[in-house]
Amino acid sequence: MKIKTTILLIITLHNLVVAQQNEENNNIKVVEDNEVKSESNYYKAYFSEIKINSNLTFQQERNIRVESDYTVFEFPLLLKYNITKKVSLLAGPKIDLYTDKFGLTGGPVVNLTVGIDYEVNDSFLMEARFNFRPHDDIPIQTDYTFGSNTFMTLGSKFRF
């Protein structure tokens, strides 16, 4: 089991690294002859869980995704239902706030989220989420979803 988990972890981390590469968006700039300035994209996430009963948990998160021309603050508010000790279903709204260099761009964007969570051990979790935006409004100029109202996220989390 440990070998399978290790192989799965390596494949997942490799896919996440490959997914983060973007050859068209080079954020390293030479400011002066001897100074290099990096404007890297990053993703930070924090979550906490409040146990309602033995099978149901309220999971609140704060995710920050920084891109080259905007920042997204994501606030998923999810109910987590334990199917087994290791597998859980997630469902609930996700509220996004978009900002650019001028400040907040439009109002909040509400998405509907469903997903599955797999607890590898007490500290490490893997998840897949499907997000649906029920309207066509997006408050940023460049629509990186190419007009799609759905997107999927794959991730891993450490609990401590």
Q: For the chain, which residues make up each domain, given as ranges?
A: 40-158
Q: Rounded to two decimals, what is the model's pTM?
A: 0.65
CATH of domain 40-158: 2.40.160
CB 71 within 8 A of CB 65: yes
pLDDT for the residue numbered 141: 61
pLDDT digits (tens, 9 = 90+) for 99-131: 887 777 777 888 899 999 999 998 898 999 998
Handedness of CA 129, 95, 79, 16 (dihedral sign): positive
pLDDT for the residue numbered 31: 46
